[in-house]
Amino acid sequence: MPKGIIGRKIGMTRVFKNGKAIPVTVIQVEPNYIVNIRTEEKDGYSAVVLGTIEKKEKRTPKPMLAIFKKAGVKPLKYLAEFKLKEGEEVQLGQEVKVEDVFEKGQLVDVTGTSKGRGFASAMKRWDFSGFKKSHGSRYHRAVGSIGACSDPGRVWKTKRMAGHYGNETVTVQGLEVVDLIPEKGVILVKGSVPGAPKSVVKIKDSVISLRRKGKRKLERAKAAYAS
């Protein structure tokens, strides 16, 4: 099976475990289908392309229709590529469910698109404190000096200024899988994930689970959710 799956963020709630309230994000995972397979011989690595949520055939480009037809599935709206677990074998058109990929206590990384907030000031975008608000000052929310004297005599790249805020790809790492509800295709992930409600997110096996700190966190999570 692949190391990840495509889902849709529903919102946040809380669950109670051993008398403690745990904030969780509810992610709806509709059936994913294997649309394409990457192989070591042809592509140099092993992975699969998953697709989910059907869309109209007339809105699908003909080259994509040929790919879906070869896989034996209807046209799908969202596609994403995930690596395969070692020793796993899959087939084109195979259905992938959330319980096939994840289990309670597992650590996952969730990737989504952050909320777009349009053009924002430096105070909102970068959490600047601003200038004094008394004694006749008219300089409350301005950025301040952005120059660098005569040398180099220009504004440095990456200078924190006003600009477009949000609508970026964001990944949150090391979130715990609190619970799975297979009959409803729902996964509960501890904490918040990027994106607005109903936005599409990618959930995959966490890369930090192989690190020393991640291994300790994984052991604690599995012990906590085993009961």
Mean pLDDT for each 10-residue chunk of the chain (227 residues)?
Answer: 92 90 94 91 90 92 92 93 85 90 91 95 92 85 84 88 94 92 93 94 88 74 71
Q: What is the pLDDT of residue 194?
A: 94
Distance of CA 61 to the CA centre of its chain: 26
pTM of the entire structure? 0.85
Length of the chain: 227
CA distance 73 to 199: 23
Q: What whole-number distance in Å separates Cα of residue 128 and Cα of residue 203?
A: 33
Domains annotated for the chain, with CATH where assigned, are: 4-116+168-226 (2.40.30.10), 117-165 (no CATH)
In this predicted structure, what is the pLDDT of residue 5? Answer: 94
Q: How far apart are CA 141 and CA 161, in angstroms?
A: 12
DSSP 3-state assignment of 62? Answer: helix
Q: What are phi and psi of 33, to 5 degrees?
A: -125, 145
pLDDT in the model for residue 227: 60
208 in Cβ contact with 216 (< 8 Å): no
